[in-house]
């Protein structure tokens, strides 16, 4: 296991979670069940701060906006980067001060702007990031003249899937060649504090050249704006730092990424700012699910479980890989405990959920210790974009979530019920 400073191991593999502890949680809280380890979140925050000691670090709340995580992140010294008015409210609920909250708008609905401007009047340290001149007009109409950050589209994207490569997507930000002119004009009317760009999500070692190019372009943009409109407080180059989802993938060399980022941004008085999300929480979470059906199909053994694409959307949405482990098989024999396959005979299986869609599979033809009905499987790296993307399609209530801290286990979110789903209906 690779370790880095005080931040704990550089990556926590699914095999390193204690099978007996997870089985006890499944027995007490039922399944599907998300488990988030707050201590691991703290370790990941510490490793980021160690690699970027002079940077301003905001946590990208879209990865996991549960209060247990947000309070842990705040206690670790990170700020909050919010993609919606709802996330802004969650950040305040978690105790973040207004000057530690940044609202990054992407085509924001009017009610979002209404709420955020209302919050800004109460907390003038709140920063609003805009990705369109039209958004500035809408803020002006609402009386906003506070801290403004401009999101640029640098024309460079990276990430684990084309659907999350934002840096070159026209939806995100103002074309970088137009930003300096606009920013210079806005500096007289607003408190222009920074510029922002984000390459994408799940950036791996192969993506680093593109990320460095984005950072370099943002450094050039910062210097151009400073020469025309005065100094900026920060230059935000986004987050998207990847984690190894496959068992044989190495962890990201965060120190090397930090060094390359500092070199690429170049000389400027603006503070480097980053906004990691996935890196903070992905390997701090697992999803527990119970086997309900095992059947032999024509070309596969299908293992039906009670978690599906409404519980964990990433495999259906991005064809994402998540490690899967048969905890019950591991607990059967000390020889296999802690091993992804355990001591029982392994067989290739397709793990499928209960949703009426062919895309509702967590893996296909994956070697697992042969599952039996009633056994518990664990899905790894479920802390990022797991619960956040869960939904109630097929009228399936969302799962419960427990938060671990040392030896303390707390129910962080209760399990939804069918009456919860119909409560708002008339």
Nearest to 217 by CA among 152, 143, 294, 311: 152
Looking from the CA of 136 toward its CB, the CA atoms found within 13 Å total 21
User: Is there a binding annotation on residue 278?
Assistant: yes
User: Is there a binding annotation on residue 393?
Assistant: no
Q: Which region, left, alpha or beta, applies to residue 159 given φ > 0 means left and ψ of -120 to 50 means alpha?
A: left
User: What span, in angstroms and rounded, lies between the C-alpha atoms of 347 and 394?
Assistant: 30
Type and span of the H or E element at 400? strand 400-405
CA triplet 68, 394, 399: central angle to 5 degrees? 20
User: Is there a binding annotation on residue 138?
Assistant: no
User: Is there a binding annotation on residue 49?
Assistant: no
User: Is there a binding annotation on residue 425?
Assistant: no
In angstroms, the Cα distances linking 340 to 30, 80, 273, 366 are 22, 35, 38, 11
User: Is there a binding annotation on residue 318?
Assistant: yes
Helix, strand, coil shares of the chain, percent, nearest 5, are 35, 25, 40
Residues known to be catalytic: 356
Phi, psi angle pair for 201, to nearest 5°: -120, 140
Q: Decide: 38 and 361 in contact? Cβ < 8 Å.
A: no
- Indicate the annotated binding residues for pyridoxal 5'-phosphate: 240, 275-278, 385
Question: What are the binding residues?
Answer: 240, 275-278, 314, 318, 357, 385
Q: Which residues are annotated as a binding site for substrate?
A: 278, 314, 318, 357, 385
């Amino acid at each position: 296991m690779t370790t880095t400073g005080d931040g704990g191991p550089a990556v926590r593999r699914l095999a390193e979670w204690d099978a007996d502890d997870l089985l006890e949680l499944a027995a007490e809280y039922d399944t599907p069940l998300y488990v988030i380890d707050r201590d691991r979140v703290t370790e990941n925050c510490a490793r980021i701060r160690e690699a970027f000691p002079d940077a301003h670090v905001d946590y990208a709340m879209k990865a996991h906006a549960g209060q247990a995580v947000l309070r842990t992140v705040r206690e670790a010294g990170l700020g909050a980067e919010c993609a919606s008015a709802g996330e802004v409210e969650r950040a305040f609920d978690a105790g973040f001060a207004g000057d530690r909250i940044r609202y990054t708008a992407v085509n924001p609905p009017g009610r979002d702007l209404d709420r955020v401007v209302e919050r800004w009047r109460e907390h003038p340290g709140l920063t609003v990031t805009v990705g369109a001149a039209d958004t500035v007009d809408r803020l002006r109409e609402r009386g906003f003249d506070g801290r403004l950050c401009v999101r640029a589209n640098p024309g460079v994207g990276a990430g684990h899937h084309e659907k999350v490569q934002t840096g070159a997507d026209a939806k995100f930000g103002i074309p970088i060649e137009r930003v300096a002119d606009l920013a210079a004009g806005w500096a007289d009317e607003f408190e222009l504090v920074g510029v922002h760009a984000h390459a994408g999500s799940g950036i791996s070692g192969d993506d680093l050249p593109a990320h460095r190019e984005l950072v370099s372009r943002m450094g050039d943009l910062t210097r151009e704006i400073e020469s025309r409109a005065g100094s900026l407080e920060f230059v935000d180059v986004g987050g998207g730092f990847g984690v190894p989802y496959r068992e044989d993938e190495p962890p990201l060399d965060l120190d090397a990424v930090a060094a390359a980022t500092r070199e690429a941004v170049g000389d400027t008085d603006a503070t480097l700012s980053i906004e990691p999300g996935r890196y903070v929480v992905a390997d701090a979470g697992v999803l527990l699910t119970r086997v309900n059906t095992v059947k032999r199909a024509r070309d596969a053994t299908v293992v039906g479980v009670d978690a599906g694409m409404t519980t964990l959307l990433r495999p259906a949405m991005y064809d994402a890989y998540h490690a899967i482990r048969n905890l019950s098989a591991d607990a059967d024999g000390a020889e296999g405990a802690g091993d992804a396959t355990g001591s029982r005979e392994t067989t290739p299986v397709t793990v499928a959920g209960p949703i009426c869609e062919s895309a509702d599979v967590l893996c296909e033809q994956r070697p697992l210790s042969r599952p039996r009905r009633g056994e518990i499987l664990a899905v790894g790296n479920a802390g990022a974009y797991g619960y956040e993307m869960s939904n109630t399609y097929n009228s399936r209530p969302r799962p419960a979530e427990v938060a671990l801290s040392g030896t303390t286990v707390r129910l962080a979110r209760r399990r939804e019920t069918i009456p919860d789903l119909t409560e708002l209906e008339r």
